[in-house]
Each structure stands twice: as structure tokens, then as C-alpha cells.
Structure 1
Amino acid sequence: MPYFLTFLSLFIALGCGKPSDQTQDPKTQSIESNQTKRILYFGDSLTAGYGLSNYEDAWPHVLTNRINAEGYFYQMTNAGVSGDTTSGGLGRLEWVLAEKPSIFVLELGANDMLRGISPSVTKENLRSMIRQIKSLYPNTKILLVGMMATPNMGKKYANAFNSIYPDLAKEENVPLVPFILEKVATIRKLNQKDGIHPTDAGHKLVADTVYPYIKPLLEK
């Protein structure tokens, strides 16, 4: 599939899904241990594991299992909601912060792009979330996860959107995963039949993409 068609389909799908399929209950999406450290994954369908037969195959679970296998022993909460935007995320942020995470992984913005929302609005919503986390839990480490705009949005929009994440990471002094789909975008066998959402194998590669960026934040 051509690059722009694949990415167009990707972002359309990120905004799709019935509400009953979208919302993931963080309390049922957890890996528990006897430790108090927690990683909270906050995002859209890519984080929620949309379309997977087992939510534990979603990259947040794969990644946390890898982390714990290396002796770190973190609890985790998957607070991914398919179709979520940065505005929606900002609205539900305070509730999920009751989990008191040690690490907060922020993956939002793709559906903003789909809807043609101004990149400046997306950026400020993400900034507000980062600052709210820092204000409520100064010791929580934040990892920002980046996305890229579809080429069909036009060069001007794409340039503005694609600069959101690196600029914000620098301005707010948080680490950044440049592009979450770096290893799976446009590769048919790594995506589901819709050609959009990663398969189990694709989610494993997404976990591989995020791992080197979250590893420096871990504590034994």
C-alpha cells in the first residue's frame, strides 16, 4: 500500500470503533506485583490494543513484562482509549492520576490530526497534561510518545504537526519516543486485516521501539 494511503487509513482507524470497544478499564488492564512502582500508559487505540484477541498482547503489556523480566518489577495500568484525542485525554487525566504512577507514558495526538485540529491546540493540550502531572506528582517521570502526520494533510500541516513532539519534549524537558510506529508502519504483515492496527507481532515491535527510551527511567 502506498505510504500516504497506509497512513491515511491508520489515522482514520485510530478515530473509529464503538464506544463499548473503546474504553479500557485500567483496573482490569493491570499487571500487579508486590511492589509499589507503577507505569501508566495513557493513549489511544494503539495503546489500548484495538483489534487484538487478548489485550495482554498490546505493547504496554509486552513492554512491562520485558521490564519485569529484567528485575525491575513494576505494576502497570493500560489507560488506552480508542478514538481518544488530546482534549479527551486532558479531560480524563486527573482520574487516571489517582493511580499515582512512577512513570507516565503519554501517547496521544493522532486523532487530533485526523480531525484536522490545529497543531497548536494539540501541542498545548499535551503541554497541559505534562504540567498537570508534574504539578500533582513531581517525582513522576514522563515519557512522551511521538506520532507523524499523514502526507495528505499537506506539507504545511504536516510540518507543524510533526514538530509538536520534538519541540514539546525540549521545552518541557521530557524524553521522547520520536515515532511509535517506526518499525511497523506500511508493513502489511505486521498489521491486522484492516491494514491499520498492528498485529501481535507488530505490538512486539512497538514495545521494542519504546524500550530504549523508557529504560533510563526505570529504577530497581
Structure 2
Amino acid sequence: MSNLTSADQFENTSAKTILFFGDSLTAGFGMAQNQDFPALIQEKINSQNLAYKVVNAGLSGETSAGGKARIVNLQEQSVDVFVLELGINDILRGITPTETISNLQFIIDFVKIKHPDVKLMLLGMELPSFFTGHTLTEFRMIFRHLAEKNTMLFMPFLLHGVAGNRLLNLADGVHPNAKGYEIIAGNLWPILKTIL
């Protein structure tokens, strides 16, 4: 990951950068540093001798508005592949889908302007089962709309096969455990590697 030894850094100077930008799901809330899904993706990259290094820019509790403010501070970071995972905290905090779309579009536009050759991927989310009706439909369309509009590689549901399974989540029932993250990385890798 991003805490390489100086020898590793010398070997990886030509490596391209994959920046994972998200909330606690990306940050690996409650996990050891090498157990979050970006770290597991780095392991898969290394096993195939691909010249990419992963940077985990996940921040627990992040909303799309927080991400919009924070992305500006990362403008000096080199980015070849940008993987965006934000939005689920918005609905839990009463931020409207319209505002979420606007904030996420700002982030995407900012990255495209700073890094014109960047490859983009969006990790979608689904709402917990206690949300119903219009809210559910509107939220689901956020990610599909953004992925289509910006021609982004798209994974419709990051927590597919993990959400709702108590054996794959921490005691809070929300954040994946180590086994859950292994499934997430396993689902994500075949999609992500198509653009590496």
C-alpha cells in the first residue's frame, strides 16, 4: 500500500497509482491496515506483477460533501486510476440525492481536469432494507446515472454477498469484517483489472 519501504519505492517509481477515495468501507473501519479491500487489491496486483500501487484515501464518516472538500487537497497526488466510493452516509444524514449527485459529479470533474488521462471507476451502494419506495429508487439511480454520464467502470453494489450476513460483518452489522473484505476484493478485482 502507500507505506512502502524506500527500497520498494525505488522499484515502484514507474508504478501507476490507483487512488481509492471513499468512506469507512474504503478506509477499512475496524480492520488492521492490510485487511481493507484496497490492501487486498494491492495483493492481487502484486501477485500478477502489475506495475500499480494502491493509495487508500478512505475516511470514516465521509459524506459526498466532505469528499468534495477533501478532493481539492489531493490535487498533488498522482492518479492513474480513480475509484470512487461515496454516498451511503449522505442518505443516513438526510442529504438529498440531488445534492449527492452534484457533489460526486464535482469530485469526478475535478479529478478529470487534474488528470486528463485518468481511468475512472464507481463503486455503487444499495440501501438497507428498512428504506423503501421513492427514496430507495432515487438513491439507486445516483450511481447508475453517474457511471453512465461519465463513462465510468461500474460495480453496482460494493457489498454484494456481504451486506446483511452477520458472519461477514462486524458486530455493528454495517461494516465488513476480514472475511467480508475478502469477498468484496474478490468481486471487485475481475472488474477493476479490465482497465489496468
Q: Match for residue 199 of structure 1?
A: 177
Q: Match for residue 44 of structure 1?
A: 23
Evaluate the alpha carbon distance shift between residue 48 and residue 29 of structure 1 in structure 2; reply closer, same or farther with a 3 A threshold: farther
TM-superposed deviation, 1:27? 5.7
TM-score by length of 2: 0.91
Evaluate the alpha carbon distance shift between residue 29 and residue 42 of structure 1 in structure 2; reply closer, same or farther with a 3 A threshold: farther
Secondary structure of the structure 1 residue equivalent to 2:170: coil
Q: Match for residue 52 of structure 2?
A: 74
Distance 1:28 1:112 in 2: 30
Distance 2:41 2:35 in 1: 10
TM-score by length of 1: 0.82
Structure with the largest fraction of helix? 1
Evaluate the alpha carbon distance shift between residue 170 and residue 92 of structure 1 in structure 2; reply closer, same or farther with a 3 A threshold: same
Evaluate the alpha carbon distance shift between residue 72 and residue 27 of structure 1 in structure 2; reply closer, same or farther with a 3 A threshold: closer
Q: Which runs of 5+ in 1 are unaligned?
A: 1-25
Q: In 1, are the aligned partners of 2:2 and 2:54 still within 8 Å (CA)?
A: no
Evaluate the alpha carbon distance shift between residue 217 and residue 97 of structure 1 in structure 2; reply closer, same or farther with a 3 A threshold: farther
Alignment of 1:1-220 (within 5 A): 28=3, 32=9, 33-52=12-31, 54-218=32-196
1:47 alignment partner AA? T
Distance 1:197 1:205 in 2: 13
Count of equivalent residues: 192
Q: In 2, are the aligned partners of 1:29 and 1:77 still within 8 Å (CA)?
A: no
Distance 2:73 2:4 in 1: 15
2:122 alignment partner AA? L
Q: In 1, are the aligned partners of 2:21 and 2:82 still within 8 Å (CA)?
A: yes
Q: CA RMSD in A?
A: 1.9
Q: Match for residue 10 of structure 1?
A: none
Query: Identity, % of aligned pairs?
Result: 36
* Deviation >3 Å, runs of 4+: 26-32
Q: In 2, are the aligned partners of 1:42 and 1:107 still within 8 Å (CA)?
A: yes
Q: Which runs of 5+ in 2 are unaligned?
A: none
